[in-house]
Amino acid sequence: MEILRSKDHDYYRPADYLRVPGHENAYFTSLDGVYYFEKKPFADDRGFFVERLVLPEMADIYGDPSIVTAQENLSFSKEGVLRGIHSESMYKFISVISGDVLAVIVDTRPYSATFRQTLYLKLGKGPDALRGRLCLPPSVGNSFQAVRAAVVDGEVYPGVLYHYLVTKTYQELTPQDKLAINPFDTELGISWSTHTPPVISDRDLANSVSFQAFINLVYHDGARRSLSQFETMLTAFRQNNQSSL
């Protein structure tokens, strides 16, 4: 993986040697099944046009012809706002329309070769940010912190527009999908931006558990537990008011 050194983080950068064979616009990252996709824009004196994502191409890369967009989401986050870590059983195709985010991806799949590893990226429109799309397979932990507000023609907008396509609707998500991992979990040791102090709601923190607790609650022998098993364990976990199992 090629990285760009900075004071606070090591950010992923695409490089020619990371191109996916047969797909010149897709790049490997350090996490198994996580890709970065970017096409060059066609520009002239009228403006520009760019293909942000080609789903059949991603379906070919993943070997999954069933990939179809079920829902398109757009969130607005003020500077400092931190969202995640969410590990949901669906594909996500992420880009930032305005502003910059520190994106931190965590491999939460016990069966993965890169289990427990993290990936740092800066996505957005700033001079050192990636402008393409981040492609996540199901059950990979996704989180981001808004680190720079949008600036358009010299005018500062108060936050970040974060756009993502997903292959399930919200109604299709399971209770396991809705359980979050605490972004401040000491086992993960994620280095969030201190230049823009992280802001997270009490409600989000209350609905999150440690990384190890998440793995124990959601998985058994590398496979996802049944809904009934998960709900029984989660109830006991909450009754005991523990931070980990």
Extents of the domains making up the chain: 2-172
8 Å CB contact between 103 and 9 = no
Indicate whether this model's pTM tops 0.85.
yes
pLDDT for the residue 242: 54
pLDDT along the chain (245 residues), means of 10: 46 95 94 93 85 87 94 93 96 94 97 96 92 96 90 71 95 95 95 87 88 96 94 92 51
Strands 92-98 and 208-209: unpaired
Fold topology of 2-172: Jelly Rolls (2.60.120)
Residue 62 and residue 68: Cα distance in Å, rounded?
A: 13
8 Å CB contact between 218 and 225 = yes
